[in-house]
Amino acid sequence: MLLLVSLGSCSKYDDSGIRDYMSEISGRVDSLESRVDSIQSTINTLQALVDRQQGRITVDSVEQLKDSVAIHFSDGKIVSLADGEDGNPASDGTPGSTPAAITVVKGEDGVYYWATVKEGEEPKVIEVDGKKFPTSTEAPKIRINEESGYWEVYSNGEWKTTNVSAEDAGATYITKIEEKETTIDVTLAGDVPLTFEKTIELSLQFLSKEEEGEAITAAYFPSEAGETQGIKYKVTPANAQITLTKPEGWKAVLNEETGEIDITSPSSNNTYAEKYGKVSALLTLEDGSSAIASLDVYIGNPPSSEVFVGDYLYSDGTWSTDLYEGKEVIGIVFWAGNLGAEDAELAKDHPDAVNGLAVSLEYAFNPVNWLPNTISIADWIETSDVSGIENSLQGGTDKDTEPSNFYALGYANTKIMRAFFEEYAGFTLLDYLTRFEKENPAPEKTSGWFIPSVQEFSRLCFGSSTAYTNLVGKECTVVTTVNEKLEALGYTPFNLETDRLWLSMECDESRAYVGYFNNNGDAVEDEITGELLGFANTSRAFKSTTIAAQMSYVRPVIAF
């Protein structure tokens, strides 16, 4: 007979001791790993500091953060160290509470060596194989040998034991940082000093005559020859040596009494003198560093803040009624006023372009089609990201009542056309404009080049905005002035009998607007309606026809 006995237990096995022990071991491992990571980070940071100190990399600035100090070096590197242990501020020189910290010390041989330091004690140099362990171009890798309880470093392809126990090393910190006139003095734990030279911003600014002078880039001398102007300036650092150069026939000297640079324009009998040029200041320091600052000088009255039709617009964004030789002209002013008052998109994108409009000196390459006859941008707008932009791109077929024709929205229209061009590479009109922009960069604080609408074209013709039909029959007085300036500069004037300008407006999927001049009073016929038109006018032309390709151009304008 087999007797089966069932054995049971009324008590549960207690493994809490093992679990506590394993938790303690896990905590120790986590603590060791965290400590290794912390000290490895310290070593990397100290290596970066020593490299820059020995490489004479200068300090641009020092940034005091909540619990650390960030040192910004001239090579772009930012090195951060705790400002006192555990984030406790120590910039007043009070050391933190770490019993031992990784640091560096400078030996008698001028070499920096790795060391540890305890509060109140002298730094202890770390040794490997009985030799002091120097800093190098690369921070050493470290680990803790759990059996021996000592730190090890990876050197020459193998791990080597140091003379530092795991309990005798911790993260380092800055105890003091002091900014002097030419240096930044950093003190590490253990009163270890590191001195860095400050980056010297070698510069000279030419200043206006006001008491708190603003920086200027140009000076103007009336046509009377031999005028001397004292130009204020500010040089950094103050001990920089200044050597002046000037255009032929001009004079430029440092006036020690006034602290200004006296510039004298050429005498009237000096036929070889230059009418414009640069007065340049070469700055040098004893260490060999140098910099150059320049002031453009011109013979003529300074430009007025007022804007007049026929003014010259320059590549630096300034304008003048008198032509300044040496400045690059990029356009002729044909209207004075704030176009942003009508074009909200222009006002938002370029709030400084409030002075007027200028037309480019040349057409954007050859005649060109507007678009294939079957494509309408107006239809595309409804599903695009630019649908909310107020525009007049879709001019109405009822030219007497269509309100979109009455607003100068060429900038907004062109912005929409640019977005369309990103999806439709065959938009040759915008391709021409883009190529023109690359060859003729727009100045800062301008709108950039754009294609005019009916209203910008009407301003180019006779200087004011007008309803569509009122454009017909008005004499082109403004463009005549523009033509005089174009011819004086050696550029081809508008042909008032044959030139046709594409406008940034379409009528429908087949037709777009063109503007043209007919200043001889002969009547011309609208291609679509057969209506006889005279003088300046706009018309609707097929976007892609032989006539359009042979006769219609892109003539960019710009708000400044």
Cβ atoms of 123 and 100 closer than 8 Å: no
CATH number for the domain that contains residue 275: 2.60.40.10
Indicate if the pLDDT at residue 303 is higher than 90: no
What is the per-residue pLDDT for 322?
A: 87
Q: Is the pLDDT of residue 156 over 80?
A: no
Q: Are 541 and 498 in contact (CB under 8 A)?
A: no
What is the rounded average pLDDT of the residues 272-293?
A: 90
Q: How far apart are CA 458 and CA 522, in angstroms?
A: 19
pLDDT at residue 2 greater than cutoff 50: no
Report whether pLDDT(286) > 60.
Answer: yes
Residue 296 — pLDDT band, cuts 50, 70, 90?
very high
Report the amino acid identity of residue 275: K
Q: How far apart are CA 129 and CA 148, in angstroms?
A: 15
pLDDT at position 9 is 40
The pLDDT assigned to 108 comes to 85
Residues 317 and 331 placed together within one structural domain of the fold: yes
- Determine the pLDDT at residue 556: 97
Q: Lowest mean pLDDT: which of 217-226, 492-501, 539-548?
A: 539-548
Q: Answer yes or no: are the C-beta atoms of 153 and 72 closer than 8 Å.
A: no
pLDDT at 235 over 90: yes
Clarify whether residues 402 and 510 are in a common domain.
Answer: yes
- Using a 10 angstrom Cβ sphere, with 0-12 exposed, 13-18 middle and 19 or more buried, the burial of residue 437 is middle
Structure confidence at residue 295 as a pLDDT band (50, 70, 90): very high
- Same domain assignment for residues 289 and 379: no
In a domain, 92, yes or no: yes
The last residue of one of the domains, among 137, 163, 197, is: 197
Q: What is the DSSP string of 186-215?
A: EEETTTEEEEEEBPP--EEEEE-SSTTPPB
CA angle centred on 541, ends 509 and 465, rounded to 5° = 100
Please determine, for residue 26, whether its predicted confidence score (pLDDT) is greater than 60: no
Alpha carbons 560 and 353: distance in angstroms, whole number: 4
- Give me the domain span that covers residue 464: 312-559
Per-residue pLDDT averaged across 357-361, rounded? 98
Please report the pLDDT score of residue 21 as a whole number. 40
pLDDT band at residue 552 under the 50/70/90 scheme? confident
Number of independent structural domains in the chain: 3
Q: Are residues 326 and 382 in the same domain?
A: yes
Question: What pLDDT does 466 receive?
Answer: 56
Reported as type and span, the H/E element at residue 516 is: strand 511-516
Q: Is the confidence at residue 213, as pLDDT, over 80?
A: yes
Half-sphere exposure of 428 (CA within 13 A, CB side): 15
% of the chain surpassing 70 pLDDT = 79
Question: 173 pLDDT band (50/70/90 cuts)?
Answer: low
In single-letter form, the type of residue at position 292 comes to: I
Residue 270: the pLDDT is: 85
User: Is residue 414 in a domain?
Assistant: yes
Q: Which residues fall within 8 angstroms of residue 507, CB to CB, at 6 or more apart?
A: 395, 396, 397, 513, 540
Split at pLDDT 50, 70, 90, the class of 510 is: confident
- Give me the mean pLDDT over the 513-529 stretch: 60
Condensed to tens digits (0 to 9), the pLDDT of residues 39-69 reads: 777 788 888 888 888 888 889 888 888 778 8
Looking only at the bridges linking them, the beta strands covering 552-553 and 500-506 are parallel
Average pLDDT over residues 281-286: 92
Rounded to whole angstroms, the Cα distance separating 108 from 439 reads: 62
More confident residue, 132 or 442: 442
Looking at the domain assignment, is residue 6 inside a domain? no
Residue 539 lies in a domain: yes
Task: Over range 541-548, report the average pLDDT.
Answer: 69
Stronger pLDDT, 244 or 426, i.e. the higher one:
244
Tens of pLDDT, residue by residue over 138-151, are 677 878 777 777 77
> Closest by alpha carbon to 57, among 84, 33, 79?
79
pLDDT band at 217, cuts 50/70/90?
very high
Local structure of residue 386 (DSSP, 8 states):
T
- Same domain, yes or no: 171 and 220: no
Residue 22 banded pLDDT, cuts 50, 70, 90: very low
Q: What is the spatial distance between Cα 368 and Cα 543, in angstroms, rounded to a whole number?
A: 9
Backbone angles phi, psi at 464, to 5 degrees: -145, 160
Q: How far is CA 434 from CA 65, 202, 347, 442, 491, in A?
A: 46, 39, 22, 12, 21
Average pLDDT of the residues in 320-333: 91
> Is 11 domain-assigned?
no
Domain end marker among 197, 224, 241: 197
In this structure, are strands 260-264 and 228-236 parallel, antiparallel, or unpaired?
Answer: antiparallel
Q: Is 73 inside any structural domain?
A: yes
- Position 171 scores a pLDDT of 59
pTM of the predicted model, to two decimals? Answer: 0.59
The two structure tokens encoding residue 514: 């063109």
Helix (H, G, I), strand (E, B) or coil at 65: coil
| 3-class DSSP assignment, residue 438 | helix
Mean pLDDT of the chain: 80
Residues 230 and 281 in one domain: yes
Element (H, E) at 72: strand 68-73
- pLDDT value at residue 546: 66
Residue 8 above 90 pLDDT? no
Assess if residue 410 is contained within a domain.
yes
Any idea which of 150-154, 404-408, 544-548 has the lowest mean pLDDT?
404-408
d(CA 93, CA 88): 12
Nearest CA to 383 among 349, 423, 348?
Answer: 423
Q: Are residues 41 and 55 in the same domain?
A: yes
Query: 185-205 pLDDT, tens per residue?
Result: 988 777 778 889 888 788 999
**Is 209 in the same domain as 190?**
no
Query: According to the model, what pLDDT value does residue 371 have?
Result: 82
Give the Å distances, CA to CA, from 548 to 28, 373, 435, 527. Answer: 84, 11, 20, 11
Based on the fold, state whether residues 239 and 263 are members of the same structural domain. yes
386-401 average pLDDT score? 67
By DSSP bridging, strand 174-179 and strand 183-188 are: antiparallel
What is the side-by-side strand order in the sheet with 101-106?
A: 101-106, 112-117, 124-125
More confident residue, 368 or 265: 265
Q: Are residues 509 and 473 in the same domain?
A: yes
Single out the residue in 232, 267, 299 at which a domain terminates.
299
Q: Are residues 233 and 96 in the same domain?
A: no
pLDDT of 559: 98
Question: Residue 263 — pLDDT band, cuts 50, 70, 90?
Answer: very high
What mean pLDDT is predicted for residues 292-314?
92
Residues 72 and 164 in one domain: yes
Predicted pLDDT of residue 506:
85
| pLDDT at residue number 375 | 82
Would you say residue 20 lies in a domain? no
Both ends of the chain: CA-CA distance in Å? 114
Tell me what pLDDT residue 287 has.
76
Q: Check whether 32 has a pLDDT greater than 60.
A: no
